[in-house]
A = this chain, B = another copy of it.
Amino acid sequence: MKRSFIIGVDLGGTNLKIGLLGSNYKIITKKVLSTRSFIKKEQLISAIINSIKALIRENRLSKKDLLGIGLGLPGPIDIKKGLVHFFPNIAGFKKVRLKRILEKRLGLPVFLDNDANLMALAEYRYGKARGFKNAVCLTLGTGVGGGIIINGILYRGSGFSAGEIGHIPLNEEGPLCNCGGRACLETYIGNKAVIKEAKKIFNRDISLEELSKLAREGDKRARLIWLRVAGRLGIALSGIINLLNPEVVVIGGGIAQAGKILFDKLRKTIKERAMMVQARQVKVLKAKLGNDAGLIGAGILVKEGSRL
């Protein structure tokens, strides 16, 4: 039988998604676990392995049916060595040869890449960045990740670590970041920062989903939070747009679900702050593939392997 199935894994600071992909990267089934329920590195790795095995078993597949496993990971990855440098938002991973560990325990080819790179790849092939030569893609989640398409190719940088949009400083001074830097965009508009700010303003725990809902219903405090997030993201993006002069910026992830209020303010800020030529040429779009972009990107990674 032809090896036509792929297992995609999308590890975020909040959720661990594991999906079975069929032809054309169609997601047949997926599981979502909570990343934080696994405290130690070994627990998280075992959870990934067990979930993959369960997915194979439950779908009555055998290893021979699988092309391989692709993982999107929230941090810098050496894709050649299959090495995780570290994760800014998940403790315990330092110089982990995850490809080797997983291949040994699963007996299947494993490919790793940065999660935002895979989102960019998926949006470039099948989503809103399709047809553009130069694109900047962002995922706004626990971390703020980015992937860059240059001349139609995913640009990974000299050490496969390009695209860290979340770690562009927004100010000279500011909050210390998990990456070791200071005043990084992520410290202002990462999920945690937004939820923390909302808690302060509403004087209770409030989720991003509720915050988006409240804003849509016209709640002034919720709207103000989103306007501040969008303003800050817009300033950081203005710098990236001046630097890279892309045709499109595609934005996905939890925070992007805030929708119109976020995108309106974002476009307005870019118009005000970026250089005229670059600002006029860029489209700012909401990602098409949503939560599935990471899994689809992982599928592309497996199928196209080293040709990427």
Contact = CB atoms under 8 A, between A and B. Distances in A.
A170 to B, nearest CB: 6
Size bracket, chain A contacts: 35 or more
A182 B272 CA distance: 9
A118 interface: no
Nearest to A239: B168
A143 to B, nearest CB: 12
B180 A235 contact: no
Contacts of A180: 272, 275-276
Interface centre among A133, A134, A153, A275 (most CB of B within 10 A): A275
A54 interface: no
Contact of A158 (B76, B155, B169, B246): B246
B240 A243 contact: yes
A175 interface: no
Interface in A229-287: 231-232, 235-236, 238-240, 242-247, 272-278, 281-282
A308 interface: no
Contacts of A236: 169
B245 A276 contact: no
A150 B158 contact: no
B273 A169 contact: yes
Contacts of A275: 76, 161, 164, 167, 179-181
A160 B245 contact: yes
B239 A169 contact: yes
A169 B134 CA distance: 21
A110 interface: no
A282 to B, nearest CB: 8
A155 B161 contact: no
Give the number of times this chain occurs in the complex, counting copies: 2
Contacts of A218: none
Contacts of A153: 151
A20 B165 CA distance: 43
B242 A159 contact: no
A141 to B, nearest CB: 17
Contact of A155 (B150, B170, B235): B150
A195 interface: no
Interface of A: 76, 85-86, 132-134, 146, 148, 150-151, 153, 155-165, 167-172, 179-182, 231-232, 235-236, 238-240, 242-247, 272-278, 281-282
Enumerate the 9 nearest inter-chain pairs by beta-carbon distance, A residue then B residue, closest first: A157-B245, A168-B239, A162-B245, A164-B242, A167-B242, A158-B247, A161-B245, A159-B281, A161-B277
Given A156-B245, A157-B245, 18 more contacts: A85-B276, A151-B151, A151-B153, A157-B244, A158-B245, A158-B246, A158-B247, A161-B275, A164-B245, A167-B275, A168-B242, A168-B243, A169-B238, A172-B231, A172-B232, A179-B242, A180-B272, A181-B273
